Structure 1
Amino acid sequence: MSNQLPMAGQTVIMCKRIKQNLWTVVFCALKMLNTLLKRVLRVRLCELLWCILVFVIFIVLWTFSDVKETSAKVTAQYPVILWWTLEFPGSSTTRTCSNNIKCHVYSDIEKDKYYSVGAYLFYASNIKFKNLPLPRKPKDVIWGLYHEESPRNVEELLHEKALSLFNFTATFSRFSNVPFPLQHLHSFEDITSTTYFVKTSIKNTYLKDISPIMYLQSDCETSTERDAYVQELMKVIDVDSYGSCLNNKELPSKFKTDYLNNLNEDEFLKFIARYKFVVAFENGACNDYITEKFWRAIKVGTVPIYFGSPTIRDWLPNRKSAILLEDFPTPKILHKHIEQLLNNDTLYEEYLEHKTIQTITNDRLVNEYRDRPYQLDGIKVIEKFECFICEKLHEKMNNQIGVNVVNKSHYDCPKPISALSLKVNPENSWVYSWEKAEIDAAKIYTEIMNGD
């Protein structure tokens, strides 16, 4: 990957440097001439010559500086894609895509001074709405949004007004232009692999020393109010809580140092696999937003008690691969169901068919993996998005596409729902933030589209 400017850009930079040096030389020459003329000639003649010199120099510089703003924006060999947000992805290249089409891709916003940029890309977590490449010209320049993170990161993007600033997206939504709903599934083989799986009969013996349910969280203030739910659940059944949220049990000493960055290490996965159930609540509820909390449980073969994405059923390996809160709407009702499963291994193992008989019956999940294998690798997702935008730029050059506008389906996060009530809790501060962000998003849209 190369950060080198194409020849046209180098020429522009060279001309600008020559112009700067010329200014310095001219200034020194004027100073010397002025001193000389004052000493040798009369004042009136000196003033006359001074005016003539200034006029001549002005004409020369004006002519030379016609590598100015209009010509400084040169056309590169291939269409230019520029990542506007700093530090992501941090590299530059000439991307070669399908049918051998090519685009220059840069991560250095300084390139904006030299090139006619065809598309700006934005990494949502680093976006600053007060620092965008304005004026916005939807007919001339494409804006693309890459957003893989939690909805709490940039709340304005929970709303359609902010999303509609962009033409194309790469998000976890299946309706995105470059979707990656399986981003947190490390490999498809993890679903059926028995590497970490503990048989039910052995799990039963562990119940002498551990609770049937594990809870591990260090982010305690969430829009889904998961701590409030688990606190109520703890009143009716034992839960081992290892994180800083509702902590009631110490992690083994070997895991205490930086465990959050070692959640996928072999020893830690084996530690989780001993439990019959694990609480897997997302910190935000968006369609198709399913994180490692769910997939880690699937990988090790413990049953996830899940709350988060309203579309989770579309991604379960089998019909009963998780206990969903919407089916057991209160902690007491959930407790009764868990007691049933604890007393009946056959019923319990209905939730583990992806391990016990190593089957996946969900065609949507299988097809998603088969059709979009890139999504299991974050770097490949970025490359796929860059190539998608590159293809759109070439289509645009050939007048094959009009102006596309992103809608809410590309990042669909409704008003926060409480796990405890399965309704919007107006007392939840995240609900207020969501509503305020809606107002802010409308204001941002108006300012940008009006060129304010």
Structure 2
Amino acid sequence: MKFQIRCFSTILCVLLLILIFFFFFRWRYIDDDGDPIGAVYFTEIHERRTSSFLNDYMESKDNNYFATQNLTVPILVWWTPFTYDTGSYIQCRNQTQCFISNIRKYRDNKQFSAFLFYGTDFRLYDLPLPRYEHEQWSLLHEESPKNNYVFSFESIMNMFNHTATFKRHSDEPLTTQWLASIDDLLDQTYVIDVQEKTQLQKTENLAPIIYIQSDCNTPSDRDLYIKELMKYIQIDSYGSCLHNKDLPENLRNSLETMEHNEILKLVGKYKFALAFENAICTDYITEKFWRPLKVGTVPIVYGSDQFQNFLPDNHSAISILDFATPADLAHYIHKLNINDTLYDFYRHFKLNRIISNDTLLVRTMSTRTWGIHNDRIRGNFINKFECVVCERVHKTRKDSTIKYQAKFEDYGCPPPTTFDRHGKKLERTGNWYRTYVYTRCQVEVFQELIDQKNYSFTEKDLYNAASKRFSPSFQRNEFLR
């Protein structure tokens, strides 16, 4: 009996040690004495704590705590709370160290060096103004302009020193944020023979094209085009948008199931998949683009105007921009659907497991130092972004002549477009174009306030001034088609 109790106690202790190790390995923070504990790994889609967590922590400290903390390395502050980290050290290449926190009060510490902003939460009425000369600003924004149009304007991009966006010109490009490895593109786990795909269209009543999307009001206005395309060819639409076919109930949460094994199997059954992004901008490429390529289905693409640079070869996807009308596109898809040789021409890289040329895709993946899906070895692009800023801050401290400046091309997306009822592309019209123009009015007002050294404006002040400027602008012919 005593032996059994000892064994049970030993097992309990081991389990407890494992739990403690896992906890400290996963989350990092700093104790009241300033000693770092553990390391953190966040997923790109991570659970967000509430701001009350930071507020409670700050209230537990006296007024001078953050300004007088005796830190010996540069301090980087997430102005837009992103990781909800109260404070921790990171160590990057060449033993470079920085202290990172989501607490804004660290700005008063003599070691403070840089702010980090997450683009979706960036607000013109809530910025650390006035900006001091020694402060560096850094932008992380992997999302499309749908989330925040302010980065489509040059004056805003000029405010930053460092960037990590989906643009290839960014300091840390995130163009391949949804692709784990080149091997994923060459893997044949989900590949189905073309003749079997043809048979499945009959036995399982499958359309030639699959569409899975539940974000139905987007700047690309993709559903207007797809609705017209549906007049000429059958499309199975499983998401909320243009819905005509049901997913199994366990696969209906798109965020949780976009890479689910059963979703990949389903997409693999179809010959074609619509890969229409929610907004149109160079290098904005998401799982909609990669997923069909991973399963041996041909993507029909509307998104980045240079998506071909990231294809395995120059004939593995179809662009809607190569066709004058949705009817013309449908005619071409019908042609491929009944011709196995022509269809498999688009799958040559997949069937033969060959990346045929030195594409930008290969170069990008070979130099990328971060991973996805909680990569414990390489971390993720959030870790990488923090280190890029940390290393650059150390360089500018050693040599004050070194300057970093973001470029418009680090984001800088064009105005949104829409389609008419025949699928013809239209510019300078539509609800999302109005959102773009209103944002431009906000940016103009913001810039004028800054030029006047007026830093105390509120959200309401900015809204009222921009609204006055916006309303008359849409009476002008230049904004109407």
Q: TM-score range by the shorter chain?
A: 0.7 to 0.9
Question: Secondary structure of the equivalent of 1:104?
Answer: strand
Distance 2:70 2:161 in 1: 22
The answer for the alignment partner of 1:241 in structure 2 is 237
Q: Bigger shift: 159-168 or 377-386?
A: 377-386
Correspondence for 1:344: 339
Question: What is the alpha-carbon distance in structure 2 between the residues aligned to residue 312 and residue 221 of structure 1?
Answer: 23
Distance 1:358 1:91 in 2: 47
The one-letter code of the counterpart of 2:30 is: N
**Structure 1: tracts of 5 or more residues without a match:** 9-16, 21-66
Tell me, yes or no, if structure 1 residue 230 matches structure 2 residue 226.
Answer: yes
Match of 2:251 in 1: 255
Percent identity, aligned pairs only, is: 36
Q: Distance in 2 between matches of 1:178 and 1:123?
A: 14
Please say if residues 73 and 111 of structure 2, whose CA atoms lie closer than 8 Å, have aligned partners that are also in contact. no
Does structure 2 retain, via aligned residues, the 8 Å contact 1:416–1:424? Answer: no
**Aligned counterparts, 1:17-166, within 5 A:** 72=67, 76-88=71-83, 90=85, 92-137=87-132, 139-166=133-160
Q: Provide the rounded CA distance (Å) in 2 between the counterparts of 1:180 and 1:73.
A: 37
Supply the distance in 2 between the matched residues of 1:441 and 1:206 (Cα, whole angstroms): 53
Q: Check the 8 A contact 2:151/2:412 in 1, yes or no.
A: no
- Give the AA of the match of 1:405: Q
Residue aligned with 1:152, SS? helix
**TM alignment of 1:300-339, pairs within 5 A:** 300-339=295-334
**Distance in 2 (alpha carbons) for counterparts of 1:189 and 1:268:** 19
Q: Secondary structure at the match of 1:118?
A: strand
Matched AA of 2:370 = Y
Give the drift of 1:114: 4.3
- Larger gyration radius, structure 1 or structure 2: 1
Is this contact kept in 2: 1:180–1:375, CA < 8 A? Answer: no
Q: What's the CA shift for 1:341?
A: 0.5
* Alpha carbons of structure 1 residues 318 and 408: separation in structure 2 relative to 1, 3 Å: same
Q: Report deviation, 1:447.
A: 3.1
The amino acid that maps onto 1:3 is I
Deviations 1:328-365 (A, max 9, x none): 23111101111211121111011112211111124221
| 2:346 match: secondary structure | helix
Provide the residue aligned with 1:54 in structure 2.
none
How much does 1:189 deviate? 1.2
Quote how far apart the aligned CAs of 1:98 are.
Answer: 1.7
Other-structure match for 1:438: 440
Report the Cα distance in structure 1 between the residues aligned to 2:155 and 2:319, rounded to whole angstroms.
Answer: 32
| Distance change (3 Å), C-alpha of 1:362 and 1:437 | farther
TM-score computed with the length of structure 2 as normaliser? 0.76
Compute the displacement of 1:86 (Å). Answer: 1.7
Supply the distance in 2 between the matched residues of 1:72 and 1:356 (Cα, whole angstroms): 60
Structure 1 residue 243: deviation in Å? Answer: 1.5
Alpha-carbon distance in 2 for matches of 1:323, 1:74: 57
CA shift digits 1:247-303 (9 cap, x unpaired): 1222245535x3552121111211111111111100001111100011111111111
Counterpart of 2:29 in structure 1 is: 2
Partner of residue 50, structure 1: none
Counterparts in 2 of 1:323 and 1:123: CA distance versus 1, 3 Å: same
Q: Secondary structure at the match of 2:414?
A: coil
Asked whether the equivalents of residues 93 and 105 of structure 1 are also in contact (C-alpha less than 8 Å), the reply is yes
Give the drift of 1:184: 0.9
1:247 aligned partner, one-letter code: H
Higher RCO by CA contacts (8 Å cutoff, separation 6 or greater) = 1
Q: Which shifted more, 400-409 or 99-108?
A: 400-409
- Aligned partner letter, 1:241: S
Matches of 2:88 and 2:76, distance apart in 1: 10
Aligned to 1:49: none
Kept after mapping to 2: 8 A contact 1:169/1:410: yes
Where do 5+ consecutive residues of structure 2 fail to align? 1-27, 36-58, 456-481
**Contact between 1:102 and 1:390, CA under 8 Å: does it hold in 2?**
yes
Distance 2:334 2:34 in 1: 72
Aligned to 1:385: 385
- Counterpart secondary structure, 1:409: helix
Residue 210 of structure 1 aligns with an amino acid whose one-letter code is L
- Give the superposed CA RMSD: 2.5
Deviation at 1:128, TM superposition (A): 2.6
Does residue 183 in structure 1 map to residue 185 in structure 2? no
- Offset of 1:400 from its aligned partner? 4.4
Asked whether the 8 Å contact 1:81–1:106 carries over to 2, the reply is yes
Q: Distance in 1 between matches of 2:143 and 2:321?
A: 24
AA of the residue aligned to 2:225 = Y
CA distance in 1 between counterparts of 2:170 and 2:123 reads: 22
Query: What SS does structure 1 have at the residue aligned with 2:247?
Result: coil
Give the secondary-structure state (helix, strand or coil) at the position aligned to 2:380: helix
- What letter matches 1:443 in structure 2? V
